[in-house]
Every structure is written in C-alpha cells, then in structure tokens.
C-alpha cells in the first residue's frame, strides 16, 4: 500500500506544483541558452525555462520520506541512502544551471569542476553503503547466477567511476523533449516490481517506495515536459535522475543490472565518445551526423515524439530483460 501511495502522492504533487513552478521559473527568466552548433530547429526552444527538474525532485523526495517512515522505524534507511546521491547530484546540477542562466551561456561549471564533485559524492555514497552493511564488494554477474567478490578498495574505485559515468550518461540523454523522463519511467517500474517481489533478495523491498515516488513524479513532470516542452529539467533534473538510478542499482546489491536496464543511457555516452575519438583520428570525419545519438536521429528526419516513443519502448524491453537477469 505504501508503494502505491508514494506513487500517487508524488504524481499529484508534481502535477500540481508544476502549475506554479513553471511560471515562477519563467518570471525569474531562467531560460535555456541553445547551443549554436545544435540542431537548427532547436533555436525555437531558446528561453524555455530550465531547472524544471525541481518539479519531480520535490515530489519524489517528499513522497519517499513520507512513505518510507515504516521502513526507517524498523531501522532500514535504504530510502535515505538512495536520496543522498540523487539530491547531491541534483544540487551540482542546480548550481550548474544557475551559472548558465546568470551568465547567459550554455555551459555552467567546467567539466573538471563537475567531475570532481561527482567523484566526491559517489565516494561518500559508497562509503555510506559500506557502513550501513549494504556493500561488501560482491558483484553479481547478470544472467549467470555467479557473484564476483572484489576487494573493497577496488570495488570502491570502480563504483565511483561507474556512478559518475552513469550520472553523466543521463545528463547527455536529456536532449529531446520528454526523452529522459520517458526512458526513466519503465526503469523505475522495474525497480518497483523487483523491490516489491524481492527479486533482489530479502531486505531489498524498501527499494520499491523511492522508485514508485520517482515514477509518479516523472509522469507529473511529463505534463509540462512532453513535446512541445513548456519547461526543461536542466542539469538539476538529469543529474538527480542519474544519481537516483545508480543508487538503486547499488542499494539492490546488483549494480551491473543498470547496464541492462539503462543501456540506452550508456549508448548515448558511447556515441559521443566514438564521435569525438573518430573525429580526432580521422582529422575531421564523423561517424554520426551529430552526437549524442538522439541528435543523429533528429538530423536523419526523426521527430522528437518518434524518438521519445522508440527510446521509451526499447528501454521498457531492456527493463523486462533486466527482470530475468537478476
């Protein structure tokens, strides 16, 4: 019942709060600055309010804290462990967005500044997981039933890199109206069901409440973010989602499941790496018309709505595959 209530509460809060948050952001003139080298048709998005991620961040946090109380009273603080990196990454994103809107430029924090902050948050999260008894270096390998046991220090280093990479992957994916919110929704449904039916084992049921809260928040947010978007989530929202997503995987004790469910996130990042790498070694040639990959599809004639539908459906199939990989 708490899972359903968390979903409905977050959905309601996000749906209603957007009525005030979107005009508030517009009044503050927190508008997006569109890259000159981006798709030409994105120029019409200039000035659309950013930092709209606040809509689902506030609703998710409130619903999670409210309906995770029974678990916390039993000494299970999984919900807080999941919220910590998500909110911390969201704060990094919010600062980045504020720099963009105050300086009237597309780039906020430098890549190095953002990277260092993300590494620090990731390390603190994993150490907290260790102290809470959630992480001992075990690494289940999907589809095999085999669990590798890594030395804790190695697990920490790899985990920090993986979480930071995941956070940046969701950030890169957020480039088409509704895309990141739509793709994340089936993944959250997967974690709700996996947590509710204890697919990750006894004691992992507390995952369902925060996942349900974010699912509800994202649906409420899509009212304002679906094409044509009235508001963008900004780095505030995309980095929050990345932290939340990564935290769920580690709290489930199965971080590699993230690669299956969130495969398109990582493909978006890989498309950028391939594009940049090939451009350098070929002295100016490109693999894609534009990177990340969703922009390549746009330049190939795909509409934003088509990209949203296809990517969301593919992610739903990947999330179903993740169910059998646990």
Contact 11, 218 (CB under 8 A): no
Q: Please give the pLDDT value at position 150.
A: 95
Mean pLDDT by 10 residues, the chain (326 residues): 95 98 91 62 77 98 94 88 97 92 71 93 96 88 94 96 98 96 98 92 88 98 96 97 98 96 98 96 93 95 97 98 94
Q: What is the tally of structural domains in the chain?
A: 1
**Quick check: is 141 in a domain?**
no
**Quick check: is 25 in a domain?**
yes
Q: Which residues pair with 147 in a beta bridge?
A: 140
**Quick check: is 92 in a domain?**
yes
Q: Please give the pLDDT value at position 99.
A: 87
In whole angstroms, what is the distance from residue 56 CA to residue 218 CA?
A: 6
Quick one: DSSP state of residue 288?
A: S
Burial 264-277 (b: 16+ CB within 10 A, else e): bbbbbbbbbebbee
Q: Please give the pLDDT value at position 204.
A: 86
pTM: 0.95
**Quick check: is 76 in a domain?**
yes
Which residue range is the domain that position 36 belongs to?
2-134+146-325
**Quick check: is 253 in a domain?**
yes
**Quick check: is 289 in a domain?**
yes
Q: What stretches of 104-142 show up as alpha helix (H) in DSSP?
A: 111-131
**Quick check: is 158 in a domain?**
yes
**Quick check: is 35 in a domain?**
yes
């Amino acid at each position: 019942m708490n899972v359903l209530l968390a979903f409905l509460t977050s959905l309601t809060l996000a749906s209603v709060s957007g009525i005030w948050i979107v005009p508030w952001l517009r009044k503050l003139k927190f508008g997006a600055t569109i890259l000159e080298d981006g798709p030409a048709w994105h120029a019409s998005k200039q000035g659309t309010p950013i930092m709209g991620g606040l809509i689902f961040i506030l609703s998710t946090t409130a619903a999670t804290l409210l309906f995770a109380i029974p678990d916390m009273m039993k000494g299970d603080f999984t919900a807080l462990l999941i919220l910590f990196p998500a909110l911390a990454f969201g704060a990094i994103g919010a600062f980045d967005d504020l720099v963009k809107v105050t300086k009237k430029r597309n780039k906020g924090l430098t890549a190095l500044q953002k990277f260092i902050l993300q590494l620090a948050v990731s390390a603190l999260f994993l150490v907290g997981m260790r102290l809470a008894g959630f992480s001992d270096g075990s690494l289940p390998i999907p589809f095999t039933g085999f669990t590798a046991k890594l030395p804790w220090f190695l697990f920490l280093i790899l985990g920090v890199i993986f979480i930071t990479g995941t956070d940046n992957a969701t950030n890169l994916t957020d480039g088409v109206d509704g895309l990141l919110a739509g793709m994340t929704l089936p993944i959250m449904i997967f974690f709700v069901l996996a947590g509710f039916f204890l697919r990750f084992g006894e004691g992992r049921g507390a995952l369902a409440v925060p996942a349900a809260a974010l699912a509800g928040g994202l649906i409420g947010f899509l009212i304002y973010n679906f094409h044509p978007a009235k508001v963008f989530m900004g780095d505030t929202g995309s980095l929050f989602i990345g932290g939340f997503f990564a935290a769920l995987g580690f709290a489930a004790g199965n971080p590699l499941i993230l690669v299956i469910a969130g495969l398109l996130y990582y493909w978006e990042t890989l498309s950028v790496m391939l594009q940049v790498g090939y451009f350098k070694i070929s002295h100016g040639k490109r693999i894609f018309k534009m990177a990340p990959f969703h922009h390549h599809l746009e330049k190939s004639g795909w509409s934003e709505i088509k990209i949203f539908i296809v990517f969301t459906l593919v992610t739903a199939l990947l999330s179903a595959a993740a169910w059998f990989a646990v």
